[in-house]
Amino acid sequence: MEKDYKMKIFYLESVDSTQIYLKKLLHDKTLQPPLAVCAKIQTQGVGSRDNTWIGLEGNLFVSFALSLKDLPEDLKLESSSLYFSQILKETLENLGSKVWLKWPNDFYLGENKIGGMITNISRSSLICGIGLNLVASPENFSKIDIELDIRNLLKLYFENIEKKSSWKQVFSKYQLEFYKNQNFFTHNNNLKISLGNAILQCDGSIISNGERIYSLR
C-alpha cells in the first residue's frame, strides 16, 4: 500500500475485479474512502451495460471510492462518470495524449475506443472503475498514444481529483469538445442513440429526440 497523498492505493498482482474487491473492503469496514485498488491483471472486469472489460496484462485496471460528502456540492450524481472521466482525460492530455472523451464515459483516440469508466453508488460512497488500454488492446479497440507509468499516472490523477474542482469548472472544458461526438452513438435502455443531434445540457445530461438522458453509469 502507498500513502504519498490522501488516496490510499492497493496494488495487486491479479484480481477478478478491482471494483468487487474494493466494495468488499468497504462492506467489511476494513478501510474507509478515499481508497483505490489497482491490479496488473483483471479477469472479470465490470464494463458498461453489464459487459465484461477484457483485461490484458499491462493495461490500467483501477477502482476508487470517494465519500459522497466529499464530492463537489454542484455535482449531480448522475453525471459523476462525466466529471471523473473528464479529469482523467485532462490528466492524460497534460502528459501528451490526444485522447478525447465520448459522452459520457468512454476514452477514444480518433475513432477507436481505448477505455472507459463506470460509476455507481455503494452506501455512502461513490465507486469509480476505470479500464484503459496502455500496452495492448483487444480486436476493434486501440491503446493510448503515449508511454505511461501507472503509479505516476494515478498519483497525478488523484492529486487532480483532490483539488475538488467544481462541476462547472470541469464541465465547461468538456463542453468545448462535445462536437467530437457527432459521428458516434451512445446507449440508453438497450437502445442505440445517435449523438449527432444530441443537445448537451448544463448538468451533463443530453436531450435526444425530446428525451433527457443521463449517463447513469
Per-residue pLDDT reduced to its tens digit, 148-180: 999 999 999 999 999 999 999 999 999 999 999
High-pLDDT (> 70) share of the chain, %: 91
Instruction: Report the alpha-carbon distance of residue 40 to residue 60 in Å, rounded.
Output: 7
Q: Which CATH class is domain 8-164?
A: alpha beta
- pLDDT band of 4, cuts 50, 70, 90: very low
Residue 191: the pLDDT is 85
Please, what is the end-to-end C-alpha distance for the chain in angstroms? 28
pLDDT in tens, 85-144: 999 999 999 999 999 999 999 999 999 999 999 999 988 999 999 999 999 888 889 999
Q: Is the pLDDT of residue 3 over 50?
A: no
Residue from 202, 181, 185, 184 nearest 193 by CA = 185
Residue 51: the pLDDT is 52
What backbone phi and psi angles, to 5 degrees, belong to 152?
A: -70, -40
Q: How far does Cα 97 stand from its chain's mean position?
A: 16
For residue 49, the SS3 value is helix
Are 128 and 118 in contact, with CB atoms under 8 Å apart?
Answer: yes
Q: Is the pLDDT of residue 47 over 70?
A: no
Counting beta carbons within 10 angstroms of the beta carbon of residue 125, is it exposed (0 to 12), middle (13 to 18) or buried (19 or more)? buried
Residues β-bridged to residue 11? 38
Q: Which residue ranges make up each domain of the chain?
A: 8-164
